[in-house]
Amino acid sequence: MHHLPQVIGPSLPPFFINRRRFLQTASAGLAVSALGTYGADLVNQKPKRVGLIGAGWYGKSDLWRLVQVAPVEIVALCDPDTQMLAGAVEIAQQRQKSKRAPRTFKDYREMLRQEQCDIVLIGSPDHWHALQAIAAIEAGADVYLQKPISVDVLEGEAILAAARKHRRVVQIGTQRKSTPHLVDAKQRVIDAGLLGKIAHVELCCYFHMRANGNPPVTPVPEFLDYDLWTGPAPLRPYDGLPHKRWWRTFTEYGNGIVGDMCVHMLDTAQWMLGLGWPKRISSVGGIYVQKDGKSNITDTQTATFEFEGLNAVWQHRTWGSPPDADYPWGLFIYGEKGVLKASTRRADFIPFDKNAKPLGFECVFEREKFPEDVTEKDNELNAAPATRRHMLDFLAAIEKRGRPVADVELGHISTASCILANVAMKVGRPLSYNPAKREVTGDREATQLLARAYRAPWTRPVVG
C-alpha cells in the first residue's frame, strides 16, 4: 500500500514545527516499505526527466536506485570532473530503457538553464548543497538532496524557505526512515510500547573514516575544474582529488563526522521518537590522537542534544575499537523496560525482564531481485533496498504534491542540530537555537557562526 502524503498548502510558519506535525510527517510514508512490487503504479506514467548534480559515488548510487524502481529518463549529468562524467554517462546508457546518453555539464547553472528537469538529484559535497538545491527548486524541479542538507544552519533555513515558497517536494537522503528492518523495529518495539518510558538515547560512530594523510601540493589535472569544484568554499591548495572522499576530512567543506554520520542516527531517533528541535545542544572534542596529516576535523567528539524528558548523546572516535562490536555505527534507545539497539545492518530489542522475549531484526538484501546490486562498484548492498523505498516514497509525494517521509524540514532539523553541536564546541558553551528567529538565544557570537562566509564571486542564498 502506498502512502498518500498530506497535501502541500497553507501551513505553520516555515521555521516552526510542533510535535504533532512532526509525528504525522515522520510516520507518513512507512507503508511504501511494504511494497510487494516495485513501482507498480508508476509503469504507465510518462517518464520523468531526471538530472544529477554530483556524479560521484553516492550521487550515482542514488540515481541507479531511482532507475531500478521508476520509468525515468536521465537527461543530464553535471560534475566538474569530466572523467567522472564519462563513467556516469556510460552506465546511464546501459541502465536506462531508452539507451540514450544524457547531456553532460560542468556547471549546474548551465544544466538547469538548458534542460527542463522534473527531478534533480544532488549528490555533491556539502558546501554545494544550498546553492544547487535552491537553484533546482527555482527551476521548477522536485529535489532529492543528499544529507546533510547544508554546511551551515542558515543555508538550511534558506533551502526550506525556497521549497515552501515554490511548493516543491524535497526528499532528503536520510533513508533510515525507509530501511525495512528499522521500520519494522519502530513499529514492533517503539510504537508497541515495549520499551515503556523512554528516557535516554545514545548515538555513536567508531569507524576509522578520518583521512590522516599529508599529500604534497600538485598541479590540478586537466579533467577537473578545481575552482568550480571549490565554489563558495575556501580555495585550498590542490593536493589530490578532493571529491574522492578527501573533502570530508576538512571543515572547509563539511562538518566532520558529526555532520556526516551523526545526522543519520540523530534523524533516526528523531523519526522513531518524534523529538523535533533540541532544547539545548552542547559538545566537546578535538584532535586528540591523530595529530599527523592535514585533516582538520575532530577525531574524538561528544555532543549532547537535550529534549523534553530525555537526552540524546553522540560519541565518535576515529581510532580504537567500538564498545559494542555489533554496533560500531548506530543508536541505542533506552526505556524503563529494555533497550532497542539499531543500525543500518540490524536491530535488537533486549528486554530487562528476563522472562520477556527479545526481538531481532535482520537487514533486508535484494540480490536476487536486483542482481546488478552485486556487480555495481562500491555499492552498499545493505543500503540499496532502503534507498529504493526512499525513492518510491519521493515519487509518491511528487504524484500527490505532498510531503515525503524525509521532508526537507525534518532533514533541516537533523542537519542543523549537528552543525550547532560543532558551533557549541567552538564557542565552548551550550546553545539554544530559535528557528523562528533564526538565532541562538542570548548568544551573539554563536549566532554569527550560523552562516559561513562565501568565497567571491559566489553569494549566500537569502532566507525569504
Same domain (yes/no): 277, 156: no
171 and 269 fall within a common domain = no
Q: What are phi and psi of 48, to 5 degrees?
A: -80, 140
Instruction: Tell me the β-bridge partners of 201.
Output: 312, 333
Q: Answer yes or no: is 220 within a domain.
A: no
Question: Has residue 78 been placed in a domain?
Answer: yes
Same domain assignment for residues 170 and 279: no
Q: How far apart are CA 292 and CA 5, in angstroms?
A: 50
Q: What is the DSSP letter of 345?
A: S
Q: What is the band of 4 on the pLDDT scale with cuts at 50, 70, 90?
A: very low
63 part of a folded domain: yes
Q: 48: which strand partners?
A: 72
Residue 234 lies in a domain: no
Q: Buried b vs exposed e over 364-376: b needs ≥16 C-beta within 10 Å?
A: beeeeebeebeeb
Can you tell me the mean pLDDT for 39-48? 69
Residues 152, 196 share a domain: no
| DSSP assignment string, 143-170 | EEEPSSS-SSHHHHHHHHHHHHHTT--E
Helix pair 57-69, 82-95: axis angle to 10 deg = 10
DSSP E strands, 142-291 = 142-145, 170-172, 198-205, 280-286
CA angle 448, 148, 407 (to 5 degrees): 105
pLDDT of residue 32: 37
Let me know: does 149 contact 415? Beta carbons within 8 Å: yes
189 and 104 share a domain?
no
Q: Are residues 103 and 199 in the same domain?
A: no
Q: Is the pLDDT of residue 93 over 80?
A: yes
Q: Is the separation of the CB atoms in 25 and 6 below 8 Å?
A: yes
Do residue 363 and residue 302 come from a single domain? yes
User: DSSP per residue over 328-340, as a string?
Assistant: SEEEEEEETTEEE
Q: Which of 216, 203, 194, 122 is nearest to 163 (CA)?
A: 122
Residues 122 and 186 in one domain: no
221: DSSP letter:
P
What digits encode the pLDDT tens for the residues 230-245?
Answer: 999 999 999 998 888 8
Interatomic CA distance for residues 145 and 176, integer angstroms: 15
Indicate the pLDDT class of residue 7, thresholds 50, 70 and 90: very low
Alpha-carbon gap, residue 394 to 145, rounded angstroms: 11
Is the predicted pLDDT of residue 20 greater than 50, yes or no? no
Residues facing residue 283 across a β-bridge: 303
Going by C-beta distance under 8 Å and a sequence separation of 6 or more, which residues neighbour residue 48? Answer: 70, 71, 72, 73, 118, 119, 398
Cα separation, 382 vs 209, whole angstroms: 19
The reply to whether 13 falls in a domain is: no
The residue behind cell 503504479 is 41
Closest residue by Cα to residue 62 from 92, 86, 105 = 92
Distance CA 119, CA 117 (A): 5
78 and 196 assigned to the same domain: no
> Does the residue 12 lie in any domain?
no
Q: Which CATH number goes with the domain that contains 434?
A: 3.30.360.10
Count of domains forming the chain: 2
Cβ–Cβ < 8 Å for 297, 438: no
Q: What is the pLDDT of residue 462?
A: 87
Which residue range(s) make up the domain with 99? 19-178+391-407
The C-alpha cell at 153 is 544552519
- Asked if 142 and 251 sit in the same domain, the reply is no
> Which tens digits make up the pLDDT trace of 421-450?
999 999 999 999 999 999 999 999 999 999
pLDDT score at 41:
60
**pLDDT digit string, tens, across residues 136-183:** 999 999 999 999 999 999 999 999 999 999 999 999 999 999 999 999
Q: Looking at the structure, tell me whether residues 250 and 340 fall in a common domain.
A: yes
Q: What is the pTM of this model?
A: 0.91
Return left, alpha or beta for 246; rule: phi > 0 is left, psi -120 to 50 is alpha, else beta: alpha
Residue 203 falls inside a structural domain: yes
CATH of the domain at 52: 3.40.50.720
Closest CA to 78 of 44, 36, 117: 117
Are residues 259 and 353 located together in one domain of the fold?
yes
In a domain, 378, yes or no: no
